[in-house]
Amino acid sequence: MSTPVRRRGGRGPLASIALHGTLIVASLIALFPIVWVVLSSLKPGYAVQSTELALVKDPTLANYEYVLTETNFPRWVVNSVLVAAATMVIGVFISATTGYALSRFNFPGRRQLLLIFLVTQMFPVAVLIVPIYTIMARLGLINTLGSLVIAYLTIAVPFCSWMFKGYFDSIDTSLDEAAAIDGCGPFATFWRIVLPLARPGIAVTAFYTFLTAWGEVAYATAFIQTDSRFTLGYGLQQFVPAFNPQWEYLTASAVLITIPAGVVFFFAQRHLVSGLTSGATKG
């Protein structure tokens, strides 16, 4: 009786069991905090702070009702959506045009500009808050949502410009040359030919800029002073004062915050793995 021959590169039964077991454990570890937050948002306050471990105890939707009706949470959502959307649209446009210029044109100061974009990523937010706050104060933008948009753009644009440059470098310049022969100028070539081929880059940078503004706290804490202009990241701090943390409301708010981010990811994820030059000429 012949012994079955295992395919080259195939895994044995023990290796498969170990691999799947490791993946299951890793998935449980990753999902545990999320599940715990969702379950805690459905518990009353005394159950959340209790030392007794219980998955669900006296489930209730009162936490969500309180957050949505008794606080300024709806206003914080509107503020965060406005700031995140403005940061995403402006940031993607500036980054895309900058990345295209850095990829296609050789102008004086090009290398220095690339180096500046790289160096700005090395500074932590704590170092940048004071000079940016001084600039915003002189411009009279303190306690305005516009100050947050400008501050978040300083974080997103350098990184996204580098990312767009990498995408545009991968697109054959013969497409630009063909567009120029057809009478397209530099911007028309960028807008009509090159940018549609960079949809994966647009999706990634849009998602990054949105999340940069959606969950940021440091700049919001420094620049915003009135409750009606809080963003979600700053507003949630109101539920965890020093001596009386309200974890039940904080967890309910955390669940609600993830919904818009999940919606953005849902619409962006189908472009994240698509071909960079999908639809381009072959041969």
125-137 mean pLDDT: 90
pLDDT, one tens digit per residue, over 15-36 is 888 888 999 999 999 989 888 8
What mean pLDDT is reported for the chain?
Answer: 83
The confidence score (pLDDT) of residue 51 equals 65
**Is it the case that residue 209 has pLDDT exceeding 50?**
yes
- Spatial distance between the Cα atoms of 196 and 279, rounded to a whole number of angstroms: 9
Question: Is residue 185 scored above 80 in pLDDT?
Answer: yes
Q: Which pair of tokens denotes residue 223?
A: 């620049």
Q: What is the pLDDT of residue 238?
A: 82
pLDDT of residue 167: 85
Give residue 106's pLDDT.
Answer: 87
Instruction: Supply the pLDDT for residue 152.
Output: 94
Calpha distance 129→135 (Å, rounded): 10
Least confident of 4-8, 68-72, 103-107: 4-8
Tell me the per-residue pLDDT of 42-90, one tens digit each, with 9 for 90 and over: 888 777 776 666 667 778 888 899 999 888 999 999 999 999 999 999 9
Q: How confident is the model at residue 271 (pLDDT cuts 50, 70, 90)?
A: low
pLDDT of the residue at 9: 53
| Percent of the chain surpassing pLDDT 70 | 88
**Six token digits for residue 103:** 């990829």
pTM for the whole thing?
0.80
Provide the token pair at 137. Answer: 């104060």
Band the pLDDT of 215: cuts 50, 70, 90.
confident
pLDDT greater than 60 at residue 2: no
Residue 197 and residue 275: Cα distance in Å, rounded?
A: 9
Give exposure, 233-249, as e/b (b: 16+ Cβ within 10 Å).
bbbbebbeeeeeebbbb
Contact 252, 180 (CB under 8 A): no
**pLDDT for res 43:** 85
Write down all domains in the chain, each with its CATH number in brackets: 72-272 (1.10.3720.10)
**Of 56 and 250, more confident:** 250
Q: Please report the pLDDT score of residue 277 as a whole number.
A: 39
HSE at residue 84, side-chain half, CA atoms within 13 A, is 24
The residue among 228, 208, 231, 66 whose CA lies nearest residue 148 is 231
Per-residue confidence band for 276, with pLDDT thresholds at 50, 70 and 90: very low
- Do 90 and 83 meet the contact criterion of CB atoms below 8 Å apart? no
**Contact, 43 vs 58, CB < 8 A?**
yes
**Which pLDDT band, with edges at 50, 70 and 90, does 153 fall under?**
very high
Judged on CB neighbours under 10 Å (0-12, 13-18, 19+), 66 is middle
φ, ψ of residue 261 to 5 degrees: the values are -60, -40
Q: How confident is the model at residue 281 (pLDDT cuts 50, 70, 90)?
A: very low
